[in-house]
Structure 1
Amino acid sequence: MPDLAPQLRRLFGFDAFRPGQEAVVRAAVEGRDTLALMPTGSGKSLTYQLAAMLRPEPTLVLSPLIALMKDQVDKLPPEIAATATFVNSSLEPGEAAARIDGVASGRTRLLYAAPERLRSGAFVEMLRRIGVGLVVIDEVHCVSMWGHDFRPDYLFIRRALAEFGEPAVLGMTATATPATAREIAAALGRELEVVRTSVVRTNLRYDVAEVSGNEDRLRVLVERIGRLEGGSTIVYARSRDSCERIARTLRGHGLRLEHYHAGLEAAERTRVQDDFLAGRIQGVVATTAFGMGIDKPDVRLVCLVNYPDSLESYVQQVGRAGRDGRPSDTLLLASPSDATAVRRFAVSDIPGPDDLRRVYRALRERGGIAEPETLATAIGGDHDPRVLVGMLEQAGIVRRGYDSGRAMRVELLPAGDGAGATLDALLERYAREAEARVERIVAFAESRRCRHRQVAEHFGETLEAPCGACDVCDPPSASRARPPATPLPSDVATAIVRAVESLAWPVGRRSLVAMLRGSVTAPRSARGSLSFGILARASEAEVKRWIGALETAGALLEIETKDGYRVLKAIPGVPLPVIGPKASSPADDATVERLREWRRERSRADGVPAYVVLSDATLREIAAARPASRAELAGVKGFGPAKLERYGDAVLGLVAASS
């Protein structure tokens, strides 16, 4: 084959290939089945785009990123863009057919489609008649049931390849271990020539910071993002709610980050993404889908607020930093409680035999034809019915064919004597692999071994430590430590009321709690108060309880401003209850026993267990605090507004009688 450099220069304007690119292009042009294992930002897309221009037949690119296909085509170099198009569910049927005609006439050489499109018999038949020479499978690791991102429609690619007449295959992924590479080859039924470039990104620094809770996470984020000089930031969080809360806190500290998740309106998501790409905001706080297919070269920090579900996911997410090759930071915030949570999520996400039985039964009742949404309603639960059908197919119990419109068509196969055992073994392995993925990412964070070396070894490489670019080999300089909390004031009630009186701008309950505890989530105006952090030694629950007691006493009143905000106002001259840790003395055993006797009678009268009335801990705290008013009783842990209304007078009478 002639020198590829002139074509690279003419079409893309580059003088030289990046590592691995030329080998992949040559293999694709020559029609050799190839698996390209190249990290995020290494220029995978260029390889098949260039190969498509040098091959005689059209190239089909299968990509799961339906929403980004137009963006990918629009960003192609002009000469390639003129011969490229996409078909996906956003197009009218007539427009999709016209684009396929463009491929048939030879005007289009590069066609993007989602793997789901192969479930359309008409689409596959049209491409069979046209003659596809190369099939590019982006994110090809999704074909592995045992990987971190299994997508059942990838299982159909092998059948489509046969219908196309077995064209050459180019699989592309940034996250495949040697074992996953073998599973990909087996799933596609091909002997794949592997082109592997190093997963080690020498321009990225890998830091893991241990945090003790949400307050600590936010404090670290504010500090790290606040000292960045230029470039953009991506913060990944697990839930939509946490994305919004984190972004709100960061903006409260003058950091221009927006939240992004699937719950936003499409126009709002587009606006945030456009502002991010144009550099009009400093960054985004997003769920994990953000960033796929987005080529922003100057991301200088990627932070994971929670553990990802695997080391592969970690590498994929942090790999969105430093795509221009310049030094960039990555940060994983880890805590023991989060490790417990991610282990729990991994187990809860594993289907069980009952889930598979329900989807099989639902298919049988519908003659093997059903829309995924209908199946999801019929079987209940949180599992995608397409994944469950894919698992049944892997066990040899069903065979899914071409779809009928939006409905899946599934053939129910005769179940032999060993079907149950096969299914049990499949589920057991599925669970084992999911748990192993979680343990690997937790071990990565907790280990004191070189971070880059751990990643390299996981993907089948070797790396000599120290790398000089992680917190293990090159510990970061100690950040500014949080000052020690001051002792609690002797009169907590007076301190809270005076704090409210001194505010230039009134705040609501949540903001008042944050201000008194010295939280990073407190509004900017409240952070300037002399009362900021005066109750830092108390827990959030304690401060909430004390504020509630002051409201019950009438010393604090919630009012609504002209703008519709609900804020707290101090009412002068109201007698203040005795609240706070120093309000309690050792519990009187005789009073505790009287309270227990009352609780027994009340539980029998209400027909509920005794602990539902009041817990032992609450009884002991009442006996120690000896509240003399409803306001003081409201300050007792475990005595909320409902219980105050129901039991308040009776409990106060018992305490008074015990004095």
Structure 2
Amino acid sequence: MNSGTLNSQVSIPLQEDVLHKLFGLTSLREKQAESIALTMSGKHTLNLLPTGYGKSLCYQLPSQMLPGLTLVISPLIALMEDQISGLRRRGINNATFINSTIDAEEIDDRIEGMLSGRYKLVYIAPERLDSPRFISLLQRLDVALLVIDEAHCISQWGHDFRPHYRHLKNLLPLVPRAVVMALTATATNKVQSDIISNLGLDMTVVKGDFNRPNLVLEVEKCDNPDDKDRHLIARLKQTLELDHGTSINFNKTEPGSAIIYAATRKEAEALSRRITAAGIKAAYYHAGMPLPMRKAMQKRFEEDQVKVIVCTNAFGMGVDKASIRRVIHYNMPSTLENYYQEAGRAGRDGNHAVCTLLYQSKDIYTQRWLTNNKYPTDKQVFEVYDFLKANKNTSHSRETILANVEIKDSPLISTLDLFNQLSMIAMDQGRVKLIKEISWLDTDILKRRKELDSDRLEKMIAYALSRTCLRRNILGYFGQTLNGDCTGCDICSPARGNKTSGARAEKPFTLGKNAFGALGKAVERKSFVDTSPKGINRGENLHAAIMALVGELKGQVGRTTIAAILSGSKSKKITEKGFDKLKLYGACSHRRQETILETIDEMIEEGHLRVIPGLYPKITLG
């Protein structure tokens, strides 16, 4: 597929006219203008723009000027619906979507509209890419612009990999005239490279600044659920200006609104009830609600009928409300990508807003458990394959497979994702059929993916436990550096977040010489006398072992490596770097790595250890 097919067909005056008449805007942001100019000149682009920057305008504006159809691949049904509703409010009626929420007759009507030119902009779910009917349709359409939203889903190293997205490159020859625009708000350098490599296109990268200076970042460690609720209510009162004793100043005269993200649908509903019982009117929103109810809840929030909404991550992608003053994560997400994308819903009007992460130790353990149980064993992978092979002439629902194979739903989804990536199965309307038998199955792909998920989780945990600038921590993860001073986090300027209990001050070091047991000598924080396995009695004093090893390695490695060394891991990462030759290697071999990690986290919280932020956070003495 070659770029340059459009040859700047649309003039700047026409673009400005469409921008003003249809979208009510007089100008574009710098990176929006750059992206649109490249698209209109026929260049393929990968757009890395932060949440709240206005990524959708980068393709919605061209869709109204280009000859032919703009096709948007989007993984989120709620986002499609929100985008179409927003366009219709602006009087743009030549846009629609096709997904599983509409019946066959309506799908036929919308397809006819695509072919006749009635629609200029169509959102479609990635699952349709595997449909023979859609592939046939694609060849009959005049696609001028192919948009890949949430493009990080292409990368198997991304935080939300979807095999259907991996197949996109096979469709590009079917739309040879189309310019390709990929968009994401969350992609590390490695993921960016994988997206471009997979698509096989010469793409210009349009990269915005991930720093949002108007956002104040804060983290609050909570002792228990009641403590978490107390912090939550206090912050909501600040945001809604119900607590007139606070000194909060958001450069606004009117009260603000707040989004609270909860981990599950059940938690979202229960939390909204507790908030309402505390005297603050709150609604809830999640993907399990009927569509009319979801739309009604969203409308109430956008029109300020209710100022607090508790939701899962199904909410927020298409919310047309720029004046959100606070986003609170009631549960810790599994990745910094998810966290920063959701936190970025705040302050889209450019005024000050606060992004709060509430967490307790239980959140860390829960996320680790979920990660460990998301992936199947090799035995389970082969058993699923054997079942599909034995019944290869039939398509099966997930429920049928679960009833016949000893496997839970999450690892089954991971298994089917692998089979889909390897083009072994066909998936249609939630049913699975084996279409290709193989003699050898590479399960190492799943192992690598699990390692990456674990690594991303550890970076999220490092952010929560950090005692250094939160802004630099996040920007460093996305490969950017902060030029100048931090404009607001509860480490650098605690008053900006209006924390209810003060900043995370350094706690005094409390481990005395007796705490190190068989070390047998007084040990100071930064000078260890005895680092031998005998000195810690083969790990009976886990704190002493951790302190000794961290002191010896002097900030060279992260938490997971410390735990792996002490537990005696024989992984390639440990042996290749010679860590198995250290005196403390295997000193706590009778301990589970998860136990060692939990102890490391406790020691970070207590100030005995410190996280050095960056793309690969390291651990040093506190």
Does the alignment pair 1:466 with 2:458? no
Residue pairs, 1:585-624, within 5 angstroms:
none
1:414 to 410, 423, 438: 438
1:111 aligns to what SS in structure 2? strand
Does the alignment pair 1:389 with 2:408? no
Q: 1:221 to 1:367 in 2, by over 3 A?
A: same
Question: Which residue pairs with 1:134 in the alignment?
Answer: 145
2:46 aligns to what SS in structure 1? strand
Aligned equivalents of 1:80, 1:30: Cα separation in 2: 27
After TM superposition, the structure 1 stretch with the greater mean CA deviation from structure 2, 99-108 or 237-246, is 237-246
Aligned residue identity for 1:471: D
Report the alpha carbon displacement of residue 68 of structure 1 after superposing the two structures with TM.
4.1
Report the alpha carbon displacement of residue 33 of structure 1 after superposing the two structures with TM.
1.7
Aligned residue identity for 1:479: T
Q: 1:263 to 1:399 in 2, by over 3 A?
A: closer
Structure having the higher Rg? 1
Report the alpha carbon displacement of residue 54 of structure 1 after superposing the two structures with TM.
2.3
Q: 1:391 to 1:12 in 2, by over 3 A?
A: same
Does the alignment pair 1:27 with 2:38? yes
Does the alignment pair 1:289 with 2:300? no
Sequence identity percentage? 35
1:195 aligns to what SS in structure 2? strand
Aligned equivalents of 2:89, 2:313: Cα separation in 1: 31
Aligned equivalents of 1:270, 1:259: Cα separation in 2: 12
Aligned partners of 2:164 and 2:420 also within 8 Å: no
Aligned equivalents of 1:250, 1:85: Cα separation in 2: 37
Aligned partners of 1:453 and 1:463 also within 8 Å: yes
Question: Which residue pairs with 2:325 in the alignment?
Answer: 300
Tell me the alpha carbon deviations over residues 264-289 of structure 1, each in whole angstroms, 9 at most, x when there is no partner. 45554443333222211121122222
Q: 1:135 to 1:371 in 2, by over 3 A?
A: farther
After TM superposition, the structure 1 stretch with the greater mean CA deviation from structure 2, 114-123 or 404-413, is 404-413
Aligned equivalents of 2:275, 2:437: Cα separation in 1: 55
2:224 to 190, 194, 213: 213
Q: 1:400 to 1:158 in 2, by over 3 A?
A: farther
Please provide the CA RMSD for this pair. Answer: 2.4
Question: Which residue pairs with 2:531 in the alignment?
Answer: none
1:181 to 175, 186, 192: 192
Q: 1:279 to 1:80 in 2, by over 3 A?
A: closer
Aligned partners of 1:124 and 1:164 also within 8 Å: no
1:414 aligns to what SS in structure 2? coil
Aligned length: 473
Report the alpha carbon displacement of residue 161 of structure 1 after superposing the two structures with TM.
2.2
Question: Which residue pairs with 1:124 in the alignment?
Answer: 135
Aligned equivalents of 2:393, 2:355: Cα separation in 1: 47
Aligned partners of 1:65 and 1:293 also within 8 Å: no
Tell me the alpha carbon deviations over residues 233-274 of structure 1, each in whole angstroms, 9 at most, x when there is no partner. 111122334333332222222111123334545554443333
Residue pairs, 1:198-237, within 5 angstroms:
198-228=209-239, 229=241, 230-237=255-262
Question: Which residue pairs with 1:447 in the alignment?
Answer: 466
Does the alignment pair 1:113 with 2:127? no
Aligned equivalents of 1:452, 1:404: Cα separation in 2: 43
Aligned residue identity for 1:426: I
Aligned partners of 2:94 and 2:120 also within 8 Å: yes
Aligned equivalents of 2:26, 2:136: Cα separation in 1: 40
Aligned partners of 2:325 and 2:346 also within 8 Å: yes
Q: 1:100 to 1:182 in 2, by over 3 A?
A: same
Report the alpha carbon displacement of residue 384 of structure 1 after superposing the two structures with TM.
6.4
Aligned partners of 1:393 and 1:399 also within 8 Å: yes
Aligned equivalents of 1:297, 1:378: Cα separation in 2: 49
Aligned equivalents of 1:23, 1:412: Cα separation in 2: 44
Report the alpha carbon displacement of residue 409 of structure 1 after superposing the two structures with TM.
4.2
Question: Which residue pairs with 1:491 in the alignment?
Answer: none
Aligned residue identity for 1:336: S
Q: TM-score, normalised by structure 1?
A: 0.68
Report the alpha carbon displacement of residue 368 of structure 1 after superposing the two structures with TM.
6.1
Report the alpha carbon displacement of residue 80 of structure 1 after superposing the two structures with TM.
7.0
Aligned partners of 2:331 and 2:363 also within 8 Å: yes
2:457 to 421, 426, 438: 438
2:332 aligns to what SS in structure 1? coil
Q: 1:370 to 1:187 in 2, by over 3 A?
A: farther
Aligned equivalents of 2:319, 2:299: Cα separation in 1: 11
Aligned partners of 2:49 and 2:208 also within 8 Å: yes
Q: 1:367 to 1:87 in 2, by over 3 A?
A: same
In the alignment, structure 2 segments of 5+ residues that lack a partner are: 1-7, 242-254, 503-622
Return the structure number with greater relative CO, CA threshold 8 A, min gap 6: 2
Aligned residue identity for 1:205: V
Q: 1:429 to 1:301 in 2, by over 3 A?
A: same
After TM superposition, the structure 1 stretch with the greater mean CA deviation from structure 2, 321-330 or 68-77, is 68-77
